[in-house]
Amino acid sequence: MSALQTGESALPRPRSDAARNRRRLLDVARAALAGDGEITMQSVAKAAGVGQGTIYRHFPTREALLLAVYRDDFDALVAAAYGLLKDNPPDRALRLWLDDLAVFGRKKHALADVLDAATRAELHDEQYNRIIGAIDAILTTGVQTGALRADLHPDEVLPLVAFLWQLDTRTDPRIPHLLDLVLDAARAGRAPR
Of the candidates 82, 99, 76, 73, which has an alpha carbon nearest to the alpha carbon of residue 164? 99
What is the reported pLDDT for 65? 92
φ and ψ at residue 187, rounded to 5 degrees: -70, 150
The structural domains of the chain, with segments of one domain joined by +, span 11-60, 62-186
Query: Confidence band (pLDDT; 50, 70, 90) for 50?
Result: very high
So what's the pLDDT on residue 170? 75
Please check the confidence at residue 18 and state whether its pLDDT lies above 50: yes
**Domain 11-60: CATH superfamily, name plus number:** Homeodomain-like (1.10.10.60)
Torsion of CA 188, 189, 190, 193, to 10 degrees: 110
Cα separation of 186 and 43, whole Å?
45
Give the other-Cβ count within 10 Å of 30's Cβ: 19
Q: Which CATH superfamily is domain 62-186 in?
A: Tetracycline Repressor, domain 2 (1.10.357.10)
Residue 6: is its pLDDT beyond 60? no
**Average of pLDDT values for 109-138?**
76
Q: What is the pLDDT of residue 3?
A: 47
* pLDDT score of 185 more than 70: yes
Tens of pLDDT along 81-97? 999 999 999 999 999 99
pLDDT of residue 101 exceeding 70, the answer is yes
Q: Are 97 and 84 in contact (CB under 8 A)?
A: yes
Q: What is the pTM of this model?
A: 0.79
Does the pLDDT value for residue 1 go beyond 80?
A: no
At 187 the three-state DSSP class reads strand
